[in-house]
Amino acid sequence: MRYLESPHFNTRPNLEAIDLIVLHAISLPDGVFEQAYIDDLFMGKLDISAHPSFTGLQDMCVSSHFVVNRNGHITQFVACQKRAWHAGESSWKRRKNCNDYAIGIEMIGDEKRPFTHEQYTETARLCRVLMEHYPNITKDRIVGHQDIAPSRKWDPGKQWDWQRFHRSRAHIRKLDLEVR
């Protein structure tokens, strides 16, 4: 696992217990599955002149704890005990501000193409490791961005096969990931 420390994080308020994982999908620009622009966005270094669609991202401060690329390689951007800025205005089970108590995992993808076998496997493995570290995270506390912000977000979308993901998570045996 690769670690890049994003400047876009802060302390979780009131020592909130971590008890939720939010799965996201991201591609920059839309439909392009390279990781370099995503790294730059989360590191606060995105050159908005690199693509016309980036102009709306100027001065945007966003991050996620993890990114899982199309080959299943994982990059961690924010330590789990810190508050990453991935969920925006959100709520889960009437509890607002999911960034306060959630871990965000971005998977490189869009709403048009299926996610890869490697992404299912490695996202499932990462979730199992996180569930071991944070026992309040249960199967029903792994949700999509569309579940916590339904009026404004679509991801990871209808192309994310939740049954396949949960089967992968249940069958993972090797938990050798070290998260910060």
How confident is the model over 23-64, as pLDDT tens digits? 999 999 999 999 999 999 999 999 999 999 999 999 999 999
Catalytic residue among 16, 34, 106, 111: 106
Q: Is 178 a catalytic residue?
A: no
First to last CA, the chain: 11
Q: What is the CATH number of the domain that holds 128?
A: 3.40.80.10
pLDDT at 174 over 70: no
Strand segments, DSSP code E, in the chain are 2-3, 9-11, 20-26, 66-68, 74-76, 82-84, 91-92, 95-96, 102-108, 142-144
Q: 102-154, pLDDT tens digit by residue?
A: 999 999 999 999 999 999 999 999 999 999 999 999 999 999 999 999 989 99
Residue 178 lies in a domain: no
Is 107 in a helix, a strand, or coil? strand
Is pLDDT above 80 for 175? no
What pLDDT shows up at residue 7?
98
Residue numbers of the domain that contains 113: 2-171
pLDDT digits (tens, 9 = 90+) for 67-114: 999 999 999 999 999 999 999 999 999 999 999 999 999 999 999 999
Q: What pLDDT is recorded for position 14?
A: 80
Looking at the 3D structure of the chain, how many domains does it have?
1
